């Protein structure tokens, strides 16, 4: 296996040159496969299978980045880590793509027939199905590609058939006539979760239904007058006294002239419309249930293609929305329309094609999930798994969302009128009329042995196979070695071992689509929870906080971002600055910031390596195990203390799934403590001939590269390989950083005293630098400074050479106790840093009077601007009506101006009067 490192680190980091070479090194090394050592505990993440015809979008990139962080971290902890990749056949989505493809060839699904069309889909999958796998590899995904699964592979397909047959035999799947969501464009049933509701402007129509007795009329209100042709009743609330005399009477349905009863039902809201509801059992879920309770017939007036049926009389064949227009006009012409009001309401749309969904009565297959409060039901077991703490949801607030959904769950419509997918394994007998469910193909009826049978033409909902993913991908229903090792054991005790062995990480938007159903089916099929932690991330919005969409033109292509900024910069930008379950923003400035961080790390590493190349190997001995108690200088003890604290902090954050906080901590340490301070301090010592910082520079860099590796895998591997190849004492190191032990806190290196002293010294340097910047003093102009050290005199004298260089302060005088510096009072800027008083003479350097006047002018201007922004934000009209991104931009301006005002006030206080 070839080493991934180059002989010499180029001046600039080039992701395009590094990433492909490094990924080949990882795959050739077999690092993505879990250890076979039975003593190592498993850590398992199952990739949410993307659509087989899909391409990588930012949602995929975020999911993969987070999962890769967790897997790389656990791999470095020594766990047998399995990240199992997969792809979903995506029934509706894939069939629609291929239907469009064959249409361009001048044919159609119907002309081809089922067998030929399905073969066309398979050909499409074979041609394009690997695209998203290759794109995941570009992200650095350390999946075990040898276990790549597809929902239509033989193993998952067997699991689907076995599950269906088991449920069928228990009576938990049944075929029945129900009101379902129907997409006229996709020509299939949809589950409730596949329907997206959107507010839209419409009309509320008030229609007079004459009473059969001739005594007046009853007025109903509806948003869908075209469905009145299928009305079989009018319903009112039994407590509504307005209609007491009409309950039990008959009304005449306008246009159709059908007599329909007025019934009393508790489902009616007296506050909606007139309080009287037209009942259309064939086209509304609530009406269907009312119809059942009152034995009202079902009349279907809208066909599956969205046109009116023969039951609609003269309107048969008219498109449903055109029919609405014609019905409204006729009601107005014939005097039945009392009034029309503007009305904003929620309308269901197909999640896939955005067509308006039509509620239709249809014969479908349903899964009986039961009630949440029945501990023996499918829904009840899933409910208790979370409520009793066997499954933890991160963040916790989504536990209530999950439980609330299960408390209101309905039986799941699992059949779809498609050709692509898992065909329902049920055969019907023409001879005896009975049905047979079987895992294997059936040649004859199991009841009468007749061979005159036919298979149900429908396929199962895509989410049915996805719900089995955690156990179907590791061998179930067979008791395979993978199933025994990588599916939670019945004896696994989260109270003892924690929740961090089997993790499901995904977006909160599919908590119900997928997560809840995996829990239900995992418990149903195996009796065990499929995972112990559900870690949810939020959605990605643009830099202004707006949801990304193609129509708004604000969608970012992750592959283009990788080309421009590099994979590590994209990954770091996606996973930093956010908390579990929260939406986040992504824009060019954030990506530029993370690319700058990668470049900062690269340049700092080049500095360290250049010094290693010039050093004597004796200066580097012992770099792996430094002893901070053996006469180390304060600067070295300080950075080792900070590193030890960082290791403790990062591991704690990762254990708590606070990936953003872990990254922030590493970023601040590397950019601030290490690059901006320790390296600069080390330069002063090295230039003076002191080589002792080299071992510390190397040790801290090597450990920090390990800490950062799960987040930025490519650049850390490249630097680490270049670093360790130059070092003595590297025996025993692994060949790749991705299997190097993840650093933990070294308590022996904690040195609070050194940290306290160095923090005050750094604050002194920073204060002098800030004063120089605010007073616009040229960078190269040296300023004298006098320090009244208090109890830190010894530390300040030992660090004075470093302070002079970093603060550009020369000479730097450490005043003796009681030394009179009153002569400087009228000419110096004075700063109090903890126990240290810093005085910087300004006479002859700046015009103090002019500078004070300038700074006061800037302070006034900043204060006035801040007041304007605060008034704007305090205006309820602005806060409630302005777009969210505009409000947030003003809040950011407020924070920025508050910080500037504070800095100006500090400098003015410090200046001599």
Which tens digit of pLDDT belongs to each residue from 548-564? 766 667 778 999 999 99
User: How many Å is the maximal CA-CA distance in the chain?
Assistant: 115
- Phi, then psi, of 374 in degrees rounded to 5: -100, 105
How does DSSP assign 83-113, residue by residue? EE-EEB--HHHHHHHHHHHHHHTT--HHHH-
- Residues pairing with 337 in the sheet: 207
Residue carrying structure tokens 């800027």: 829
Span 618-642, pLDDT tens digits: 888 878 888 766 778 999 999 999 9
Residue environment code for 626-648, b if the CB has 16+ CB neighbours within 10 A, otherwise e: bebeeebbbbbbbbbbbbbbbbb
Residue 496's pLDDT is: 43
- What's the whole-model pTM score? 0.85
State both tokens at 175.
């075929």
Residue 469 has pLDDT above 60, yes or no: yes
Do the Cβ atoms of 804 and 786 come closer than 8 Å? no
Residue 7's pLDDT is: 64
Do the Cβ atoms of 30 and 736 come closer than 8 Å? no
User: Is residue 3 very low, low, confident or very high in pLDDT (cuts 50, 70, 90)?
Assistant: low
State both tokens at 582.
């929260």
- Residues pairing with 35 in the sheet: none
CA 573/CA 590 separation, integer angstroms: 6
Span 847-865, pLDDT tens digits: 677 777 787 888 898 899 8
User: Is residue 824 very low, low, confident or very high in pLDDT (cuts 50, 70, 90)?
Assistant: very low
Q: Give the range among 101-115, 163-177, 547-561, 582-596 with minimum mean pLDDT.
A: 547-561
State both tokens at 30.
């077999």
Residue 657's pLDDT is: 95
Average pLDDT over all residues of the chain? 90
CA 184/CA 304 separation, integer angstroms: 6
CA 303/CA 495 separation, integer angstroms: 55
DSSP H or E segment with residue 453: strand 453-455
Axis-axis angle for helices 567-575, 659-668 (nearest 10): 120
CA 391/CA 502 separation, integer angstroms: 10
- Mean pLDDT for the stretch of residues 721-732: 88
Q: Give the range among 141-150, 177-186, 371-380 with minimum mean pLDDT.
A: 177-186
**Percentage of residues in the chain having pLDDT higher than 70:** 96
Residue 786 has pLDDT above 90, yes or no: no
CA 69/CA 661 separation, integer angstroms: 13
Residue 92's pLDDT is: 85
User: Is residue 819 very low, low, confident or very high in pLDDT (cuts 50, 70, 90)?
Assistant: low
Do the Cβ atoms of 795 and 835 come closer than 8 Å? no
CA 68/CA 265 separation, integer angstroms: 55
State both tokens at 204.
């509320």
- Mean pLDDT for the stretch of residues 324-350: 93
Using DSSP bridges, classify how beta strands 149-150 and 584-586 pair: parallel, antiparallel or unpaired.
Answer: unpaired
- Mean pLDDT for the stretch of residues 721-726: 94
Give the count of beta carbons closer than 10 Å to the beta carbon of residue 708. 26
- Mean pLDDT for the stretch of residues 406-432: 94
Phi-psi region of 620 (alpha: psi -120 to 50; beta: other; left: phi over 0): alpha
CA 101/CA 111 separation, integer angstroms: 14
Residue 495's pLDDT is: 46
3-state SS, 811-854, equals EEEECCCCCCCHHHCCCEEEEEECCEEEEEECCCCCCHHHHHHH
Residue 282's pLDDT is: 93
């Amino acid at each position: 296996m070839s080493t991934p490192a180059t002989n010499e680190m180029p001046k600039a980091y080039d992701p395009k040159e590094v990433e492909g070479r490094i990924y080949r090194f990882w795959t050739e090394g077999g690092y993505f496969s879990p250890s076979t050592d039975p003593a190592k505990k498993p850590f398992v993440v199952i990739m949410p299978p993307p659509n087989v015809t899909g391409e990588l979008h930012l949602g995929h990139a975020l999911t993969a980045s987070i999962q890769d962080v967790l897997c790389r971290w656990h791999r470095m902890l020594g766990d047998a880590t399995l990240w199992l990749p997969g792809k979903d056949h995506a029934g509706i989505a894939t069939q629609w793509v291929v239907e469009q493809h064959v249409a361009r060839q001048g044919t159609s699904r119907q002309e081809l027939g089922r067998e030929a069309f399905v073969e066309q889909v398979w050909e499409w999958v074979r041609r394009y199905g690997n695209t998203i796998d290759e794109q995941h590899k570009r992200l650095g995904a350390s999946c075990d590609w040898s276990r790549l699964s597809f929902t239509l592979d033989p193993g998952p397909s067997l699991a689907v058939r076995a599950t269906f047959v088991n449920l069928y035999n228990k009576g938990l799947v049944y075929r029945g006539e129900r009101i379902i969501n129907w997409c006229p464009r996709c020509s299939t049933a949809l589950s409730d979760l596949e329907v997206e509701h959107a507010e839209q402007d419409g009309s509320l129509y008030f229609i007079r239904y004459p009473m059969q007795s001739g005594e007046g009329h009853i007025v109903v209100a509806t948003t869908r007058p075209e469905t009145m042709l299928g009305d079989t009743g009018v319903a009112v609330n039994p407590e509504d006294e307005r209609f007491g005399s009409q309950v039990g009477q008959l009304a005449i349905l306008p246009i159709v002239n059908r007599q329909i009863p007025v019934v009393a039902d508790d489902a009616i809201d007296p506050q909606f419309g007139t309080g009287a509801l037209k009942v259309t059992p064939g086209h509304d879920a609530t009406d269907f249930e009312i119809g059942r309770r009152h034995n009202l017939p079902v009349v279907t007036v809208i066909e599956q293609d969205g046109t009116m049926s023969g039951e609609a009389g003269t309107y048969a064949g008219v498109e449903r929305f055109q029919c609405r227009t014609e019905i409204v006009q006729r009601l107005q012409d014939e005097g039945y329309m009392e009034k029309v009001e503007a009305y904003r309401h929620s309308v269901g749309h197909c999640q896939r094609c955005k067509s308006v969904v039509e509620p239709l009565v249809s014969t479908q297959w349903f899964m009986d999930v039961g009630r949440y409060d029945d501990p023996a039901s499918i829904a009840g077991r899933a409910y208790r798994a979370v409520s009793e703490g066997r499954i933890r949801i991160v963040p916790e607030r989504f536990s209530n969302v999950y439980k609330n959904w299960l408390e209101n769950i309905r039986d799941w419509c699992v059949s779809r009128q498609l050709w692509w997918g898992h065909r329902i394994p049920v055969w019907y007998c023409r001879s005896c009329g009975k049905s047979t469910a079987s895992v294997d193909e059936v040649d004859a009826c199991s009841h009468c042995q007749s061979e005159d049978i036919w298979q149900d033409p429908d396929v199962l909902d895509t989410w049915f196979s996805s719900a089995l993913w955690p156990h179907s991908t590791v061998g179930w229903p067979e008791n395979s070695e993978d199933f025994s090792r990588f599916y939670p054991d019945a004896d696994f005790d989260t109270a003892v071992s924690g929740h961090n062995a089997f993790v499901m990480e995904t977006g909160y938007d599919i908590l119900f689509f997928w997560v809840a159903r995996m829990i239900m089916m995992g418990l149903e099929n195996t009796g065990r929870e499929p995972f112990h932690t559900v870690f949810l991330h939020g959605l990605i919005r643009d830099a202004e906080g707006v949801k990304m969409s193609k129509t708004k033109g604000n969608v970012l292509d992750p592959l283009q971002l990788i080309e421009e900024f590099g994979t590590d910069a994209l990954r770091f930008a996606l996973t930093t600055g956010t908390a579990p379950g929260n939406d986040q923003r992504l824009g060019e400035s954030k990506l530029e910031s993370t690319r700058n961080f990668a470049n900062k790390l690269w340049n700092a590493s080049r500095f360290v390596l250049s010094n290693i190349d010039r050093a004597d190997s004796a200066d580097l001995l012992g770099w792996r195990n430094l002893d901070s108690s053996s006469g180390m200088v304060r600067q070295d003890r300080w950075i080792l203390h900070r590193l030890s604290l960082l290791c403790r902090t990062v591991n704690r954050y990762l254990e708590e799934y606070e990936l953003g906080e872990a990254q922030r901590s590493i970023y601040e340490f590397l950019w601030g403590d290490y690059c901006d301070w320790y390296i600069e301090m080390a330069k002063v010592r090295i230039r003076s001939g002191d080589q002792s910082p080299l071992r510390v520079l190397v040790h801290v860099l090597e450990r920090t590269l390990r800490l950062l590796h799960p987040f930025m895998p490519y650049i850390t591997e490249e630097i680490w390989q270049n670093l360790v190849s130059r070092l003595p004492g590297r025996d025993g190191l692994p060949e790749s950083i991705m299997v190097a032990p993840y650093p933990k806190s070294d308590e022996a290196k904690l040195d609070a005293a050194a940290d306290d002293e160095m923090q005050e010294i750094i604050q002194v340097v920073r204060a002098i630098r800030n004063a120089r910047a605010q007073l616009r003093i040229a960078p190269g102009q040296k300023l004298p400074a006098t320090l009244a050290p208090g109890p830190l005199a010894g530390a300040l004298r030992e660090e004075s050479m470093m302070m002079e260089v970093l603060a550009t302060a020369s000479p730097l005088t450490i005043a003796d106790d009681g030394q009179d510096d009153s002569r400087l009072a009228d000419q110096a800027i004075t700063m109090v840093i903890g126990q240290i008083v810093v005085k910087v003479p300004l006479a002859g350097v700046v015009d103090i009077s002019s500078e004070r006047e300038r700074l006061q002018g800037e302070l006034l201007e900043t204060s006035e601007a801040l007041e304007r922004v605060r008034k704007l934000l305090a205006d309820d009209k602005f806060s409630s009506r302005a777009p969210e991104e505009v409000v947030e931009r003003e809040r950011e301006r407020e924070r920025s101006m508050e910080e500037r005002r504070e800095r100006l006030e500090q400098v003015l206080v410090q200046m001599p009067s």
